[in-house]
Amino acid sequence: MAIREELRDYVLDNYLFTDDQSKLKDDDSFLETGILDSNGVMEVIFFLEDEYGVAVAQEEMVPENLDSISRIVSFVEAKNG
């Protein structure tokens, strides 16, 4: 399964308790919509590290990289070159 779908499933399952794909748009800001708080974002980082072996450096832990499904996918793809 592609990272986008896995991430979507992870967030839907763990934070919204649903498999209804319409509940989460790829560009939804986690923080602004309240889907995740900063602890939730840290959990997503943990998920990325565990599932994809992506090491997120301190300076990369910014909303621009991590605050939506789209942003995370772009970030991971850029990291993996």
Partner 1 sequence: MSTQDMNNPFKGALDFDKEKEVEKISNGIKAALRDRVKRRGLVVAVSGGIDSSVSLALSVEALGVNKVYALLLPERDSSGETGDRGLELVKHFGVEYEEKNIASTLEAIGCYSERDAAIKRVIPSYNDEWKSKIVITGGLDGQFNHFLLVAKAPDGTMHEESLRLKEYMQIVAATNFKQRIRKTLEYYHADRLNYAVVGTPNRLEYDQGFFVKNGDGSADIKPIAHLYKTQVYAMAEHLGLPESIRNAPPTTDTYSLSQSQEEFYFALPYQKMDVALWALNHGVKAEDLAVELGVTPEQAEYVYKDIEAKRKTTASLHLKPQLMEQVKEIQV
Q: Is 32 exposed, middle or buried (0-12, 13-18, 19+ CB in 10 A)?
A: exposed
* Residue pointed to by tokens 């509940």: 23
Pair 66, 28: CB distance under 8 Å: no
Is residue 53 at the binding interface for partner 1, with CB under 8 A as the rule? Answer: no
Nearer to partner 1, 24 or 35 (CB): 35
Residue-level length of the chain: 81
> To the nearest whole angstrom, how small is the minimum distance from the Cβ of residue 13 to partner 1?
18
Is residue 9 at the binding interface for partner 1, with CB under 8 A as the rule? Answer: no
For partner 1, which stretch binds (CB under 8 A), given 2-10, 14-22, 58-66, 69-77? Answer: 58-66
Report d(CA 66, CA 70) in Å as an integer: 9
Judged by the rule CB under 8 A, the positions of this chain that interact with partner 1 are: 31, 34, 37-39, 41-43, 45-46, 49, 58-59, 61-63, 66
